[in-house]
């Protein structure tokens, strides 16, 4: 069966500075990332800032051109599409952003923002649009009358719902959720998370769910990919990976999640130092500079480990078992 989305050996490098800049450092944001997402499946993409997870999300939608690699949506290589064909395909793949304040045009009404996709793809006759917008607003748990208001009249959680309604308008089958709840208050996060779950079930949606919070991803994702310095270090079923991580970085990441339970005094792994700069990554294993694995040796510094199957998930570590 063809997966809904497949990403093969995705690479994204940025030149630092503008078009006329002198030859400068190259930021290696994404290095050789591959994964697939099936229809109705949610893949969680976890990593810290600078790990390249947002870049992967944008490159998958071709909002940024990959340096190398192939992104296939329903079997079609996106790179082979003309700009017009790509725009047509955009109906099928959408994005929800992190910042609920910047993700809506402050000068347009909520209704106009939600209707934008309907207009672009001429999905409905003009006079039927307001009715559809009202339905969409109600589907995400908002009052239909809000269509005439402006974004600044809403709270963060409400704005995030509006952003979701805008994405749903074009009836996509796949949505990139780029940290959709991390800017929200704790008590509101759960509301939006539940909404995304309900929509997934009702519309058989697939998500690429980008987040830095492992516990959150465990809650919503079927499978999880852990990124470090532009590469996937561990990928597999969400609970398998998070409940018993095999890559040292995943182990540290999971153990660092603050858990609201004082009785569970698990041993914390505190990594030393900062992640290296993506413009100057270490040769060999990207995690070698902070790795605490007892068997770490010169091979780790010299040779980049590739993903291999260990205990039901793929791990990029020479010594994981």
Minimum distance of other proteins from residue 241's CB (angstroms): 12
Contact in structure between 148 and 134 (CB atoms under 8 Å): no
- For other proteins, which residue of 197, 237, 289, 296 counts as binding (CB under 8 A)? 197
Footprint of other proteins on 124-143 (CB under 8 A): none
- For other proteins, which residue of 63, 79, 244, 295 counts as binding (CB under 8 A)? 63
Q: Is 6 in the site for other proteins (CB under 8 A)?
A: no
Applying CB under 8 A, the site for other proteins has a residue count of 82
- For other proteins, which residue of 189, 206, 231, 250 counts as binding (CB under 8 A)? 189
Q: Is 39 in the site for other proteins (CB under 8 A)?
A: no
Q: Is 82 in the site for other proteins (CB under 8 A)?
A: no
Q: Is 158 in the site for other proteins (CB under 8 A)?
A: yes
Count other C-beta atoms under 10 Å from residue 73's C-beta: 23
For residue 187, which phi and psi values (nearest 5 degrees)? -70, -20
C-alpha to C-alpha distance for 118 and 129, rounded to whole angstroms: 7
Identify the three-state secondary structure at position 187: helix
Contact in structure between 199 and 213 (CB atoms under 8 Å): no
Q: Is 114 in the site for other proteins (CB under 8 A)?
A: no
Q: Which is nearer to other proteins, 48 or 139 (CB)?
A: 48
Minimum distance of other proteins from residue 112's CB (angstroms): 9
Q: Is 166 in the site for other proteins (CB under 8 A)?
A: yes
- For other proteins, which residue of 53, 72, 90, 318 counts as binding (CB under 8 A)? 90
Residue 75 vs residues 9, 64, 70, 80, 251: alpha-carbon distances, Å: 16, 20, 11, 12, 35
Q: Is 220 in the site for other proteins (CB under 8 A)?
A: yes
Count other C-beta atoms under 10 Å from residue 258's C-beta: 7
Q: Is 267 in the site for other proteins (CB under 8 A)?
A: no
Single out the segment in contact with other proteins by CB under 8 A; choices: 73-81, 273-281, 291-299, 309-317: 273-281
Minimum distance of other proteins from residue 232's CB (angstroms): 17
Residue 267 vs residues 119, 251, 252, 254: alpha-carbon distances, Å: 55, 11, 10, 11
Contact in structure between 319 and 251 (CB atoms under 8 Å): no
Minimum distance of other proteins from residue 8's CB (angstroms): 22
Minimum distance of other proteins from residue 234's CB (angstroms): 15
Supply the DSSP symbol for 256. Answer: H
Which single residue is written with the structure tokens 């605490």? 292
Count other C-beta atoms under 10 Å from residue 144's C-beta: 15
- For other proteins, which residue of 9, 87, 148, 308 counts as binding (CB under 8 A)? 87
Single out the segment in contact with other proteins by CB under 8 A; choices: 6-14, 31-39, 93-101, 298-306: 93-101
Three-state secondary structure string covering 41-58: CEEEEECCCCCCHHHHHH
Footprint of other proteins on 275-314 (CB under 8 A): 275
Q: Please name which of 233, 185, 184, 181 lies closest in space to residue 207, comparing C-alpha atoms.
A: 181
Which single residue is written with the structure tokens 């010594």? 319
Q: Is 271 in the site for other proteins (CB under 8 A)?
A: yes
Q: Is 259 in the site for other proteins (CB under 8 A)?
A: yes
- For other proteins, which residue of 213, 237, 279, 284 counts as binding (CB under 8 A)? 213
């Amino acid at each position: 069966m063809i997966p809904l989305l497949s990403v093969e050996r995705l690479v994204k490098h940025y030149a630092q500075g503008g078009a006329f800049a002198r030859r400068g450092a190259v930021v290696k944001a994404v290095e050789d990332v591959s994964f697939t997402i099936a229809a109705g499946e949610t893949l969680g993409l976890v990593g810290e800032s600078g790990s390249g997870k947002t870049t992967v999300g944008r490159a998958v939608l071709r909002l940024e051109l990959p340096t190398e690699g192939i992104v296939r949506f329903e079997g079609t290589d996106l790179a082979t599409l003309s700009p017009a064909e790509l725009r047509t395909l955009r109906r099928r793949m959408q994005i929800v952003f992190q910042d609920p304040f910047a993700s809506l045009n402050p000068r347009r009404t909520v209704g106009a923002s939600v209707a934008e996709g309907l207009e672009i793809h001429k999905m409905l006759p003009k006079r039927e649009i307001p009715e559809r917008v009202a339905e969409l607003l109600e589907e995400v748990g908002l009052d239909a009358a809000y269509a005439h208001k402006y974004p600044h009249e809403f709270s963060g959680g409400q704005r995030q719902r509006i952003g979701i309604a805008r994405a749903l308008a074009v009836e996509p089958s796949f949505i990139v959720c780029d940290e959709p709840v991390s800017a929200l208050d704790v008590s509101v996060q759960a509301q939006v998370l539940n909404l995304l779950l309900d929509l997934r079930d009702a519309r058989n949606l697939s998500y690429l769910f980008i987040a830095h919070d492992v516990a959150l991803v465990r809650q919503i994702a079927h499978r999880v990919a852990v990124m470090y310095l532009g590469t996937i270090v561990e990928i597999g079923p969400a609970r398998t990976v998070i409940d018993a991580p095999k890559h040292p970085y995943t182990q540290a990441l999971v153990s660092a999640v603050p858990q609201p339970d004082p009785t569970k005094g698990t041993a914390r792994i505190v990594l030393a130092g900062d992640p290296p700069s993506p413009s100057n990554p270490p040769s060999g294993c990207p995690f070698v500079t902070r790795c605490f694995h007892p068997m770490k040796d010169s091979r780790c510094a010299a040779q980049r480990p590739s993903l291999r199957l260990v205990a039901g998930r793929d791990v990029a570590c020479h010594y994981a078992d």
